[in-house]
């Protein structure tokens, strides 16, 4: 569910599309994978816009013919996404100041987003559900801690992950709701330790 920004749907379509072979001549069409649904909610005022008006709710890309269309327009919203984006903007506001040296490095800004992503999805309990999001999805049995994350030295052995909707093999983790989370957390922890060692070995400024 997006808020009318077509680039979000386009990026998801490039990541999550497949070809449907119907036996007909010609190139098979690209569609979203079975079970994946994308809807755009156009909130902008189109009264002064010339030409044809966009519908309030629309599907930007073709979907798999076997995908169930079992939800109504009232379920099309970006509340969960905005619930993540709003606190992320508030907590990272100070890093966006141009006078802040930290804001001049893209890698430094990306690090703040990575830390917030881990905190939101794997450490902090959600106010409404009283659960860590990864636990609510069934990806983890219990939430993580920063101490546990920073002690990660290697990726765990492949195992099966069970969610509320599907059982994911390790090779299918990119299709999981939180993506390849173990590899991402491992990489963030490695980068964090490397930066800490460099900062500890740096000479003090005169």
What phi and psi, each to the nearest 5 degrees, are found at residue 38? -125, 135
> Residue 19 pLDDT > 80, yes or no?
yes
Cβ atoms of residues 173 and 181 within 8 Å = yes
DSSP 3-state helix, strand, coil percentages of the chain (rounded to 5)?
45, 5, 50
**pLDDT for position 204:** 46
User: 139 vs 20, which has greater pLDDT?
Assistant: 20
Q: What is the DSSP letter of 149?
A: H
**Greater model confidence, 95 or 57:** 57
pLDDT > 50? residue 37: yes
Q: What is the mean predicted confidence (pLDDT) over 164-193?
A: 55
End-to-end CA distance of the chain: 52
What would the pLDDT profile of 137-165 be if each residue is shown by its tens digit? 777 888 888 888 877 766 554 444 444 44
Q: Which residue has the tokens 């069934």?
A: 138
Q: Enumerate residues 6+ apart whose C-beta is below 8 A from 36.
A: 12, 16, 63, 64, 67
The tokens describing 104, both together, are 């001049």
pTM score: 0.52
- Residue 125 parent element (H or E): none
Instruction: Please report, for residues 27, 52, 99, 170, 200, the alpha-carbon distance to residue 204 in angstroms, rounded to integers and kept in the order given.
Output: 63, 63, 21, 45, 10
Phi-psi map region of 147: left, alpha, beta (phi>0 left; psi -120 to 50 alpha)? alpha
Domain extents in the chain: 1-77, 79-201
Q: Tell me what the mean pLDDT of segment 14-38 comes to.
A: 85
Contact 120, 112 (CB under 8 A): no
Contact 136, 126 (CB under 8 A): yes
pLDDT at 1 (0 to 100): 52
């Amino acid at each position: 569910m997006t808020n009318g920004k077509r680039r979000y749907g386009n990026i998801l379509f490039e990541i999550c599309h497949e070809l449907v072979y119907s036996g007909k001549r010609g190139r098979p069409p690209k569609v979203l994978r079975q079970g994946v649904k994308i809807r755009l909610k156009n909130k902008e005022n189109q009264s002064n816009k010339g030409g044809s008006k966009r519908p309030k709710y629309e599907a930007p890309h073709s979907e798999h013919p076997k995908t169930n269309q079992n939800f109504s327009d009232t379920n099309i919203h970006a509340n969960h996404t905005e619930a993540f984006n709003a606190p992320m903007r508030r907590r990272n506001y100070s890093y966006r100041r141009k006078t802040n040296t930290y804001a001049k490095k893209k890698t430094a800004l990306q690090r703040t987003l990575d830390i917030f992503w881990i905190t939101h999805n794997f450490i902090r309990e959600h106010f409404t559900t009283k659960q860590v999001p990864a636990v609510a999805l069934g990806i983890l049995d219990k939430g993580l801690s920063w101490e546990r994350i920073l002690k990660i030295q290697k990726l765990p052995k492949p195992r099966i992950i069970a969610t509320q909707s599907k059982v994911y093999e390790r090779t299918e983790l990119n299709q999981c709701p939180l993506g390849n989370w173990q590899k991402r957390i491992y990489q963030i922890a490695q980068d964090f330790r490397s930066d800490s060692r460099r900062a500890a070995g740096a000479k003090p400024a005169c």
